[in-house]
Amino acid sequence: AFQGSTDGIIITDLNARIIDANDAFLEIYGYRYDEIIGKRTSVLRSQKTTDSLYKKMWDEIKAYGCWAGQIINRHRNGEEFPVWLSITSIHEQDKTVGYMGVEFDMRKQQELEKRVIQSERLAIIGQMAAKVAHEVRNPLSSISLNAELLGDELRSTSEGITAEGESLLKAIMDEVERVTNLTEDYLQFSRLPEAEFHLVYLDQLLEDTIDFVEAEANSQGIQIIREIEAELPRVAADYHQIRRVILNLMRNAFDAMRNGGFLRLHAVAAGTNVEVSIADTGDGIAEEQRTKIFEPFYTTRDMGTGLGLAIARQIVQEHNGRLSFTSKENAGTVFTMVLPIEHKSIHQKEEMQL
């Protein structure tokens, strides 16, 4: 039970020196077993946890034999994060001989809460986008049809249509097409279909997607470098949705390299996950934009909808994965997608269908 627990567990002596720790504890804090044994628990303490809280905690342990609450602790790398900590006295022959601490990493819960809030927000935004798109669709069709009829009418007259008239009609039709594409993007965002999970050969999906856009990349002076590990483990995924994510990330990279450059697609198995990174040699993302790029409708382009990355992150999260990025101005950006390797339940289901 000690080693099998998903919560971090440590045993200490009366002087708060750690005498045993389970694997979950080591994973939470980033220590090796031989590094942490013999150290006092103060090595985990964050400066954000006050002396008064520690005094209250130990007063309760001495009085009642236990304490539980949320505190801020420190990872081996210096990162501070919240944990739910429960401390219980260990007794032998009616004497306290040590303490057991059980810890739950609150970052997991906070991430789950953020996802729920984001999903609810996206659902509301999607409903609004669908309503706006429906309201705009019919007038757009009418404008487009009447512009075509006007062009035909003018061309049929004895004087014909002037070059300026043709230019104006073309400008109208171009703007109608642009707004039509925007409304289609909004409708697609509001109706993102539920993922259909199957076991997917990710290496083949990536190769096929690169083949699909390579000519487009070459026409813009961009060379695609493939670094795809042979025989990547299968992932439980919706093939078309993950392909959509990869296409979006690659085309964003193309847009960032206006004068050409290199796009490096790297895919490798990493423990229980597969990691796919797409790196460009473009302009990078400005510091002030980095907290906003996953927000729906946020865009720095004149013609963009600002939905591509919001949809991409939503898709990846629904696959129990993560989508993140690093960027340096004038040096490029790297987007990394992490997906879990095949789920046993899906594997069994597909085996039964064979």
Bridge partners for 12 per DSSP: 18, 99
In this predicted structure, what is the pLDDT of residue 117? Answer: 67
Say which residues have a Cβ less than 8 Å from residue 23's Cβ, sequence separation at least 6.
3
Looking at 131, 157, 190, the residue that finishes a domain is 190
Measured between alpha carbons, how far is 26 from 34 in angstroms, rounded to an integer? 10
CB 18 within 8 Å of CB 39? yes
Which 8-state DSSP code applies to residue 284?
-
pLDDT digits (tens, 9 = 90+) for 267-281: 999 888 999 999 999
Total domains present in the chain: 3
Work out the widest C-alpha separation in the chain, in whole angstroms. Answer: 112
Residue 234 domain flag = yes
The range of the structural domain enclosing residue 16 comes to: 8-106
On whether both 128 and 149 belong to a single domain, the answer is yes
In this predicted structure, what is the pLDDT of residue 326? Answer: 93
Q: How far are the Cα atoms of 203, 265, 266 from residue 227, in angstroms, in the given order? A: 10, 6, 5
Of 185, 151, 126, 198, residue with least CA distance to 351: 198
Residue 348 domain flag = no
Residue 1 domain flag = no
Ramachandran angles phi, psi of 326, nearest 5°: -130, 150
Say which residues have a Cβ less than 8 Å from residue 190's Cβ, sequence separation at least 6.
126, 127, 129, 130, 133
In this predicted structure, what is the pLDDT of residue 237? Answer: 92
CB 316 within 8 Å of CB 337? yes
Residue 2 domain flag = no
* Mean pLDDT along residues 98-113: 84
On whether both 93 and 212 belong to a single domain, the answer is no
CB 14 within 8 Å of CB 93? no
**Hey, what's the torsion of the CAs at 188, 192, 198, 199, to 10 degrees?**
70
DSSP secondary structure letters along 163-185: HHHHHHHHHHHHHHHHHHHHHHH
* Mean pLDDT along residues 78-89: 92
Measured between alpha carbons, how far is 83 from 350 in angstroms, rounded to an integer? 39
H or E segment at 142? helix 106-156
pLDDT digits (tens, 9 = 90+) for 47-60: 888 888 888 998 99
On whether both 219 and 185 belong to a single domain, the answer is no
Residue 353 domain flag = no
Looking at 106, 132, 151, the residue that finishes a domain is 106
In this predicted structure, what is the pLDDT of residue 352? Answer: 46
Lowest-confidence segment of 48-62, 100-114, 119-133 by average pLDDT: 119-133
Residue 75 domain flag = yes
On whether both 164 and 95 belong to a single domain, the answer is no
In this predicted structure, what is the pLDDT of residue 209? Answer: 94
Of 3, 13, 160, 174, residue with least CA distance to 100: 13
Looking at 78, 106, 134, the residue that finishes a domain is 106
Environment class of 145 (CB within 10 Å of its CB; exposed 0-12, middle 13-18, buried 19+): exposed
Residue 351 domain flag = no
Measured between alpha carbons, how far is 103 from 72 in angstroms, rounded to an integer? 11
Bridge partners for 268 per DSSP: 275
On whether both 131 and 262 belong to a single domain, the answer is no
Q: In the chain, what percentage of residues exceed pLDDT 90?
A: 44
Q: Residue 100 maps to which CATH number?
A: 3.30.450.20
- Residue 157 in this model has a pLDDT that exceeds 80: yes
On whether both 140 and 36 belong to a single domain, the answer is no
Say which residues have a Cβ less than 8 Å from residue 300's Cβ, sequence separation at least 6.
289
CB 3 within 8 Å of CB 23? yes
Residue 305 domain flag = yes
* Mean pLDDT along residues 284-309: 79
Of 321, 312, 203, residue with least CA distance to 267: 203
- Residue 92 in this model has a pLDDT that exceeds 80: yes
Bridge partners for 206 per DSSP: none
Quote the strand ranges of the chain, DSSP E.
8-12, 18-21, 66-74, 80-92, 95-105, 198-200, 222-228, 235-237, 261-270, 273-280, 322-328, 332-340
CB 257 within 8 Å of CB 222? yes
On whether both 142 and 14 belong to a single domain, the answer is no
In this predicted structure, what is the pLDDT of residue 121? Answer: 65
Say what angle helices 202-219 and 239-256 make with each other, to 10 degrees. Answer: 30
Handedness of CA 192, 193, 195, 198 (dihedral sign): negative
On whether both 149 and 277 belong to a single domain, the answer is no
Q: Residue 128 maps to which CATH number?
A: 1.10.287
